[in-house]
Structure 1
Amino acid sequence: MDSFITIRFKRKTAKRFQEFSRTHFKSHTDAMATMLAFFFYNEISPKENFGPTGRTIAVSLNTVETNLLKRLNAIIAIQRDIEKTQTKPALAMLESLFQTEEPKDKTLILEKKFIEEKKTVRFEEKRNTTNEL
């Protein structure tokens, strides 16, 4: 069995360590050994600042997301305005240029065409179908 050694800490720091150790580890020795192994393995110093924490990232992501959604809505509004004012009218003009209607054959006033009309009898005499004796 390993022997224990006494290390002097300030009371406030010792209380914080004991609370942390009780919530995450079985003993204070396991807690200290794991923390030291973490710092040695990852080759980092406990004095280094890693940047934003998970909480600050979540808060900043919410603001970034909100700003991004606002910008996306603005872009969509600009695109719709461009469609209404530029794209659709231009497309309509191009379509009208390429649509060709067959010109109606109108006879000139000076030109006279004689159309042969079929002579159809409109009225016929009624024939007497009774027998004459």
Structure 2
Amino acid sequence: MDKGYEKERFEGLKIKASVAQRFRRYCGKISKSQSMTLLVMIEFFEDNGISPNESMGPHIQTLEILIKKRINGVIAILKDIEKSQTKPTVAMMQSLFEEAEPKNKPLILEKKKTDDSQPKYRERNPSNL
């Protein structure tokens, strides 16, 4: 039984036999009773403001075009923000960090090697022996 409609009585509708068969097959596909299927269909049309006689093609295409225009507008705004705000800020930050790098100075404790430092021992050459 349909929830919330258990105590209501049934009414008969006069519809053609071929339409009734097609409707029953559709009800079986969506796994609802005939009453609930018809109720869901009516609520769909009322909630969306759609008439069954209207074609939905132009409406959907119009919405798609509007959405694409708005997305293109958002992309243009983001590109402008990137060009006018983000890139200059990044360039300024990079220049600050490049100047702030410390120069490599030798440590105070580090000993410098000079050319005067000769080994105190003489290497032996095996050919001189």
TM-score by length of 1: 0.43
Higher alpha-carbon Rg: 1
Point out the structure with the larger helix share: 2
TM score, norm. by length of structure 2: 0.44
